[in-house]
A and B are shown apart, each in its own frame.
Chain A
Amino acid sequence: MNPMVRIGLILFLVIFQTTIYYAIPALNHFVDLLIIFVIYAGLYLPFLESIVLVLVLGALMDSITGGLFGLYLSIYFWIIVGLRPFVMLLNLKNAHTLRLLLAIAIGFENLMLFIGSVALKQEIVFSSESILGMVYQLLWTLALGPFLIRLLNAVDRQLVHEQSK
């Protein structure tokens, strides 16, 4: 996939998650598409390219969220760095392996968001609504994540194949 197409995909995912999810209440706690993209980039794209892409994604997210600037940049950067050893060690064709990586990434993301909230002197409130929301999103992501990661990879390979013709 052309790098510009990948950046277009990032924009599409950010907009989808911040507008379509908001407009359709049933999708409020649906799959976290952004973390799926980050895992896909970390596993299947060249390291440097994946770093650049997630930094773009992080900067976009930081600009539209209410948290600290740099928080999403940090989260996505460390997920990509942390994924590198797994790429060589694990069998990426196994859906359970992908689920494990997704669960660790989501756990790390929420830990960093928690730290970001503490940094803002925010009064941390663990409401049943927000915890349920996170759990639903985690379950959806674990259920559909491996399929979506493979779909992204398949589309990417198909585009590369057509470009090389």
Chain B
Amino acid sequence: MFSKKMMVIAGVLGFVVVNIIVLFISARYVSSSSASRHMGMGIVSPLQKAVTVSILSLRSMWTHYFFLVSTEKENDSLKIKLAKNIYDDNQCKETELSNDRLRKLLDFKNASKLHSLSAGVIGKDPSQWYKTLIIDKGVSEGITKGLPVVVPEGVVGQVIDASDHYAKVLLIIDSNSAVDALVQQTRAHGIIKGHSEGRCLLNYVSRKETVNIGDAVVSSGLDGVFAKGLLIGKVTDIIRNKSGIFQDIEVSPFVDFDKIEEVLVVLSPPAQSRYR
């Protein structure tokens, strides 16, 4: 009834469908931290690191020695100061707001500083479909799956896989990412999810809550991953639909994900590294 050619084509298509079903099943039930994955990362990542270090050295040589020697150095120093000031400013705001709310707690103790480890970014996800980075620190340096990753400007993402000396970080702009968050000024609560064009959405914020464009969004600490008060981004758009109980809030992250070179992996859980 069917020609041999038809049978072959049907067979191949059948195998493709079986392959897709297996992928769906593995997505649900198989851990992403497999040995084969770590082996691949162990082969590629050292080379990625070597290439990235070479590129950064060349870039640094060019910018510091051949191009505007003094201006570039001054700019570097100012950028570091600015980043520190943003961090300090945010800490002050959070401290002020916390003091107002927690006035009754006279024995409120100073929270310890973040216990973190710095790591270099050595590669990015080659696919347009996923937003991840590879960093040059892994299990040997104390990094485990689930740890939060930050920079002075704000939240970067979360470690989703770690091999001996390298780890993979899921960025907050990936649609698989979710961070429990607060609008800093009004304390409206929601969940930050990755959206499009490097932006995020603050979901599940009640229509009753007042949110203004330009308001800062910070981590709430309720997800047990990110410490309370870490900067995430600022509100750039608010859509209040006629129906529904929530409003759609678009958030532009403070972190420029295309230019990250170093990150901090927070090693202690939020309970110990709480912000004031």
Which residues of A does B touch, CB under 8 Å? 11, 14-15, 17-23, 25, 34, 59-71, 74, 78, 81-82, 110, 112-117, 119-130, 133-134, 137
Contact = CB atoms under 8 A, between A and B. Distances in A.
B37 A123 contact: no
Contact of A64 (B19, B40, B131, B196): B40
Interface of B: 12, 16, 19-20, 22-24, 26-28, 30, 32, 34, 36-41, 43-45, 47-48, 51-52, 55-56, 59, 122-132, 134, 160, 168, 170, 174-176, 193-198, 258
Given A68-B26, A78-B19, A19 B122 contact: yes
Contact of B23 (A17, A116, A127): A116
Given A11-B47, A60-B40, A67 B130 contact: yes
19 contacts: A19-B51, A19-B52, A25-B258, A63-B40, A64-B48, A64-B168, A66-B160, A66-B170, A67-B130, A68-B32, A70-B23, A113-B129, A115-B23, A117-B130, A120-B176, A129-B197, A130-B128, A130-B196, A134-B128
Contact of B36 (A11, A63, A120, A129): A63
A137 B126 CA distance: 12
Contact of A66 (B44, B132, B196): B132
A139 B41 CA distance: 30
Contact of B129 (A67, A81, A121, A123): A67
Nearest to B58: A23
Contact of A122 (B43, B59, B132, B176): B176
Given A123-B175, A134-B128, A70 B44 contact: no
Nearest to A127: B196
Contact of A70 (B22, B127, B197): B22
A124 to B, nearest CB: 7
Given A19-B122, A60-B43, A127-B197, A65 B23 contact: no
